[in-house]
Structure 1
């Protein structure tokens, strides 16, 4: 996964720093993408490797059909001996450019192809307890559980790149949840990292890989609405791993159809899970707060089922902010 299209286009356009407005960012990306890919092609050609360009946006992996197509395309390229050079399609992306999502995109692709490992390269040696320039900031060499990690990543880095340590930690969350180990380190020390030397920060994967469909749901889907739960339903979903029933829903927002991703939120509106809903949004208002048996008796047996089944939902994590 390569960043750099916008950065590569700055000098030809006479820009000294990354522009803030979307139109100029996209213009820089349009100029820079060709230059970036030309350089990659030259470098890999010298080593006898054929490289191919794949441009994606986060939107390309938020719909399961596109997600499956991306997997098929990457698999075919690899079988044909082509090294995919993947970049976010900054020339057509909208809000994704602002969030520096190449880190998240890298984790999603690693998850997609069931990679052996994910290497995140940065301009710092490792993860630190705070910004490396802050007094008392200490390096972290190993993170056994990224879900419980608490570090200060709020300080912004360079004026050229996007994202920063926050997006790298989010990427580490995605990859380790898929059972993929992650190493974060300085780009100039990549040879040492690949040689297995103890540099950078290693993130341990979870013991058991989650199904690809649930990882897609948690990290690559876009919620089409929200289901507000009462406190009892929140406890049932988050602590007892139960399905969400109509009786535990107090309010809905958004417009969606059966099979769409929706957020399951607390009474205060905090998302705690995401799942695939079994009913259209216009069906649910008449069902809220009612027992399943009551709905089946009044509306028919097709209503005798969960609003979101436990096998089609995944809990969300909010430790990295």
Structure 2
């Protein structure tokens, strides 16, 4: 075990995600002592130099020496807004969830701002939705904002924009968001904190179960039953969403520690706590990772066999001639699924036309469309730079 957490000790840029249950009471409202305890740990880690990497180690994102950089992905906005609005439990309807988030987000950031101020650390709020991250221009803006905040010495506090989100409000309690943010900022480490101190090979409350200390690949969890509920009842993400987030980050080359908030200090100093997920893949294009894991398809395009081979095997753009059918209501720039003749999703991409325009494009060449409809129609339906393969 001596060298297992070396990547933790060497990490310079760290994304830390904390769940609602670790910040609030079961009845709603922020627990100031819990927030301060987390901030105490993060402030100390931030001013601690990372361990030097071995000379042969290849850094994922070389940065100059000095203190560590931390991005905090924090749940808790909806939970923090429950008590002030007189709500006894998390509401099920979207409108009241959004109202609670509107009230709670201000309280959450104010609490972080005051707590980090004890250490002279400035806080910057960043609210994101998956739609922001799958669109090229929005993705660049988010990346630049986070990089600039870090460069100026601020600590970004990221949350989903729950006041306007719809499907995103059930996104997995920010676990998946944290994995994608880790990739977006080229983090060296992701730490997922909740009220459970790791993955167990059974129900942690039952005798005889043991903690899974390391995960090197899917086979290590093949026989493990992953739970789906937190103890406090104020969040939405259970262990399943955390494990999935860890897999996303690990597949993107980022090591992950999954543990409880009370063990945050040990987790961030490389101690044997929680479950450590070894990197299983290499980094890929940021925006395509968001497109694959964070976007909600607004419709689908069915491809003929030739187009499926061209898109999946040759990684080409999707042209109108290869489309057999269209479903759904979407606008240009929305994510759509690309399906084969059997209805299986083979790819996902950002479409260049509105759904109502597609029927008159089906099966026609771009040259023919340009001649009949104008030069604006001589383009791809989905460009290969805006496309990610799902099964291939």
TM above 0.5: yes
Alpha-carbon distance in structure 2 between the residues aligned to 1:200 and 1:49: 28
- Residue aligning to 2:238: 164
**RMSD of aligned C-alpha atoms?**
3.5
User: Which of 233, 237, 252 is residue 178 of structure 1 equivalent to?
Assistant: 252
Deviation (angstroms), 1:313: 2.8
Q: 1:24 aligned to 84, 88, 96, which one?
A: 96
State the Cα distance separating 1:106 from its structure 2 match. 1.4
The C-alpha deviation readout for 1:63-113, integer Å capped at 9, x for no partner, is 222221112222222222111112223233223223334112212221211
Structure-1 residue corresponding to 2:24: none
1:153 and 2:191 are equivalent in the alignment: no
TM-aligned CA distance change 1:59 to 1:276, over 3 Å = closer
The yes-or-no answer on 1:67 pairing with 2:139 is: yes
2:388 maps to 314
1:241-252 to structure 2, matched below 5 A, reads: 241-243=314-316, 249-252=323-326
Structure with more contact order per residue of length (Cα contacts < 8 Å, sep ≥ 6): 2
Counterpart of 1:102 in structure 2 is: 174
**Matches of residues 217-228 of structure 1 in structure 2 within 5 Å?**
217-228=291-302
Q: Give runs of aligned pairs for residues 1-321 of structure 1, distance below 5 A.
A: 1-133=73-205, 138-146=210-218, 150=222, 151-153=224-226, 155-158=228-231, 159-229=233-303, 238=312, 240-243=313-316, 249-254=323-328, 261-277=335-351, 285=359, 295=365, 312-316=386-390
What CA distance in whole angstroms lies between the structure 1 residues aligned with 2:208 and 2:302? 43
Q: 1:210: how far off?
A: 0.9
TM-score with structure 1 length normalisation?
0.79
* Displacement over 6 Å in runs of 4+: 300-306
Structure 1, gaps ≥5 residues long: none
Contact in 2 for aligned 1:62/1:222 (Cα 8 Å): no
Change in Cα spacing, 1:300 to 1:137, as seen in structure 2 (3 Å) is farther
Q: CA deviation at 1:123?
A: 1.2
> Bigger shift: 298-307 or 158-167?
298-307
